[in-house]
Amino acid sequence: MYHPRNADGSVGRKIFNEAEVVETLLKLFPSANIQPILMEALPMKFQLEISSQTDLLIGMHGAGMTHIAFLPKHAAVLELFPKGFKLYRAHSMCFQSLTMWRGMHYDSWENMDANLELPHDYTIVPTDVIAKKTLKLVEQICLKKLQYSSFIKFC
């Protein structure tokens, strides 16, 4: 939670409607294990165990996305960005690059609507966007399933 630009330890770039996003995903994939997790609240051992068993990582751009390095080789990533975040930030592509280097599928969404940005670094993420992008990534994961022996519950 500490970053030189963030000495007070506050978390930036948050999903305002996280419960609604999770509900949407549970409806799409009723047999999947879908959980919102605050990784920094867990010991590193548990963070690594969770990452190593995650088929699809969805999250706002930030340090938590480094867990890409520990995802299974069949996994996919959906990275979310608040409005204007990518502007003048060449480093905003780092997690996309890490995902691609690992040979995993990647997609992203960047907010373009100022009305979806709220005080205290919250972004409203449209559930229809999450649904569409998640369905596409799950299809790609399921195609990869044929290449690997691990079982993916939602395929």
Q: How far apart are CA 96 and CA 90, in angstroms?
A: 12
The residue extents of the domains of the chain are 14-145
- Each residue of 44-88: pLDDT tens digit? 999 999 999 999 999 998 888 999 999 999 999 999 999 987 666
Q: How far apart are CA 13 and CA 1, in angstroms?
A: 12
pTM: 0.84
**DSSP 8-state class, residue 148:** S
**Angle at which helices 18-28 and 127-145 cross, to 10°:** 40
Which burial class, exposed, middle or buried, applies to 68 when counting CB atoms under 10 A from its CB (0-12, 13-18, 19+)? Answer: buried
Cα radius of gyration (the chain): 15
pLDDT, average across residues 121-130 = 95
Average pLDDT over the chain, rounded to whole? 85
Q: CB–CB of 65/95 below 8 Å? A: yes
Task: Decide if pLDDT at 2 tops 50.
Answer: no
